[in-house]
Amino acid sequence: MICLTTTERTLTSALKQVERNKAYIDMVELRLDLLDEDELASAQIFPRLCALPTIATFRRVSDGGKSQLSDKIRMTKLREIVLQGDFSYVDIEEDVKKSDLKIKREDDLPRYDFENELKLKGIKIIRSFHDMEKLPSNLFSLASKIAKKGDIPKIAVTPNTIVDVVTLFRMNEELKDIKEKIIIGMGDYGVCTRILYKKVGSMLTFASEDEIAPGQLSAKTLKLLYRADQVNARTNVYGIIGNPVLHTSSPLIHNPGFDAIHYNAIYVPFLVDKVRAFFKLAELIRIHGFSVTVPHKRDVLPYLGKITREVKQIGACNTVTRIQGMWKGTNTDYYGFLSPIETAISKGEIKSALIIGAGGAARAVAWALRNHHVKVTIANRTLSKAKLLASETMSNYIELEKIKTLQDSVDLVVQTTVVGMSPNDNEDILEDFEFVKPCFVYDLVYKPKYTKLLKRAQESGCTVINGSTMLLEQGKLQFESFTGYHFPHWVEVEL
Ligand code: NAP
């Protein structure tokens, strides 16, 4: 189930929020602590009006909420609201004392037993544990203890490494006897657990419009892009590893592609600090293949059983697939880069090229061009790196300050550095290079789509190719490696 957490201050606007998301959600969490004080008096009508199963949550500050009331007063207010309405669940923090759930009456009669009243009304109790900083060591026993009392354990904790993420995914197996449980990894490392909530063993995942908890995604993204609620035991898991990785556009290629060919699969971003630990996760949840981005393109090499010629030459791998019990590494940056200029090379329109940069991407570019008999010259801020790459690829190198000398001779200029990338859209590493001869200009930067360099080159009559084209091409090739099918041509990808 996808559960929308309301983030509004009034019931009316919270209902509008539910309406906006209705197509993507199965249930709602009404956050009483976020409502204005005077709204609480009518909060009991909310479940009937929104017509979806609703959790009542009155979150205190220490657990990431806004309520500053004492537990006693908070529980008294929560009781008044919940017992008058049609709530399906009520969330009570795991450490709220029994005595605070025995609610005092005005008269001298025995106190109300809130837990018992909830049970009699058929409202399920979620006992929640939050750790906004880390993963506590007693996770499994904590969840078991709550479940033994007949309540639904909710464990919302913060993984700080991929090893922590492995622990969260292990909860599915370790706690498989607990049918109803909620497990959430918060923060950037936890994003994959929010998407793959079913693989973690969680009965639901929370979504919000305003990222009320760290790492939370929108309901629309979970439902339409990831189809997170469709994941089942037969779903093949794919992903991308990197650090950082959450800005990646690759899910926009693979998930719609899987959907279009009716392939039961999902593609998820995994923030990874240690590649070794990620391979453990890949075994645990049977990941079928994954893309690799900065800084892990070299780090994955020791774990691969098989690599292609390009991976060997470039010394970097951006695509890993599980083939007959081993991991195979390929490099689709190589072919993705070539794809838009292949015809021009074969027609003899591109015989010489200037590459700016000597990092990971430049390595793939230099080898691709050299293998296609294009004469390459490499310029880089750190000259020693240009020199090294040039000697490996049997190319030439030149000081960045002297590239002007090539402006009337090269057929292709490839910009492979981060210069010009958003938010530094105003930078142009080739500022002094004039396009006196119309040539091909290829910028690997894909945000913005057209860099200052490309705009200038286009105005000078050059043929320009942007980084999005390469990104999409290399992604389509990865899709083929993952699925064995061509990327469906009818899917329009907007990167
Ligand atoms: P990398 O290995 O870190 O290399 C970075 C390169 O940029 C190095 O040559 C570095 O020079 C240079 N550089 C960095 N800051 C600079 C500055 N301020 N002035 C001049 N040069 C600077 O990174 P990478 O993996 O090669 O990626 C580079 C770019 O390509 C990124 O923008 C990435 O998004 C893009 N890319 C795009 C695609 C695609 O499909 N479109 C695929 C891969 C990469 P030094 O050696 O002097 O540090």
pLDDT band of residue 495 (cuts 50, 70, 90) is confident
Cα 416 to averaged position of ligand 1 atoms, centre (Å): 5
From CA 457, how far away is CA 474, in angstroms rounded? 24
Q: For all residues of the chain together, what is the average pLDDT? A: 96
Buried b (16+ CB within 10 A) or exposed e, 466-479: bbbbbbbbbbbbbb
pLDDT tens track for 255-270: 999 999 999 999 999 9
* Atom number of ligand 1 nearest to Cα 382: 47
Nearest protein CA to atom 38 of ligand 1, as residue: 444
Cα 407 to averaged position of ligand 1 atoms, centre (Å): 22
Burial class (CB in 10 A: 0-12, 13-18, 19+), 280: middle
pLDDT tens track for 265-320: 999 999 999 999 999 999 999 999 999 999 999 999 999 999 999 999 999 999 99
pLDDT tens track for 47-65: 999 999 999 999 999 999 9
CATH architecture of residue range(s) 251-332+473-483? 3-Layer(aba) Sandwich (3.40)
Cα 417 to averaged position of ligand 1 atoms, centre (Å): 3
What's the confidence (pLDDT) of residue 107? 81
Q: Check residue 343 and give left, alpha or beta (phi > 0: left; psi -120 to 50: alpha).
A: alpha
What's the confidence (pLDDT) of residue 290? 98
Nearest protein CA to atom 20 of ligand 1, as residue: 381
Helix H or strand E encompassing 65: none
What's the confidence (pLDDT) of residue 173? 92
* Atom number of ligand 1 nearest to Cα 469: 41
CB 462 within 8 A of CB 440: yes
Structure tokens at 165: 């993420």
- pTM of the full predicted structure? 0.94
What's the confidence (pLDDT) of residue 214? 79
pLDDT band of residue 218 (cuts 50, 70, 90) is very high
From CA 177, how far away is CA 181, in angstroms rounded? 10
CATH class of the domain comprising 336-468: alpha beta
CA 77 to chain centre: 38
pLDDT tens track for 323-364: 998 999 999 999 999 999 999 999 999 999 999 999 989 999
> What is the SS3 assignment for 412?
strand
Options 198, 199, 297, 452, the catalytic residue = 297
So where are the chain's domains?
A: 2-233, 251-332+473-483, 336-468
Q: Which of 332, 363, 381, 422 to mutate to test the pocket of ligand 1 (most atoms within 8 A of CB)?
A: 381
* Atom number of ligand 1 nearest to Cα 357: 9
223 counts as catalytic = no
- pLDDT of 109 higher than 90: no
CA 20 to chain centre: 23
Task: Name all residues whose Cβ lies below 6 A of ligand 1.
Answer: 294, 333, 336, 357-362, 380-382, 385, 416-419, 421, 429, 444-446, 467, 470-471, 474
What's the confidence (pLDDT) of residue 213? 75
What's the confidence (pLDDT) of residue 210? 82
What distances in angstroms separate CA 179 from CA 53, 57, 185, 202, 285, one per listed residue?
18, 21, 19, 9, 19
Cα 444 to averaged position of ligand 1 atoms, centre (Å): 9
What distances in angstroms separate CA 42 from CA 16, 38, 82, 236, 376, one per listed residue?
16, 8, 11, 45, 72
pLDDT tens track for 435-490: 999 999 999 999 999 999 999 999 999 999 999 999 999 999 999 999 999 999 99
pLDDT band of residue 392 (cuts 50, 70, 90) is very high
pLDDT tens track for 164-208: 999 999 999 999 999 999 999 999 999 999 999 999 999 999 999
CA angle 138, 140, 146 (to 5 degrees): 100
Cα 406 to averaged position of ligand 1 atoms, centre (Å): 21
Domain over 2-233 is classified CATH 3.20.20.70:
yes
From CA 415, how far away is CA 108, in angstroms rounded? 80
Cα 207 to averaged position of ligand 1 atoms, centre (Å): 34
What's the confidence (pLDDT) of residue 427? 96
What is the DSSP-derived secondary structure letter of residue 263?
Answer: -
Strands 326-330 and 319-323: antiparallel
Domains 2-233 and 251-332+473-483 fall in the same CATH topology? no
pLDDT more than 90, % of the chain: 96
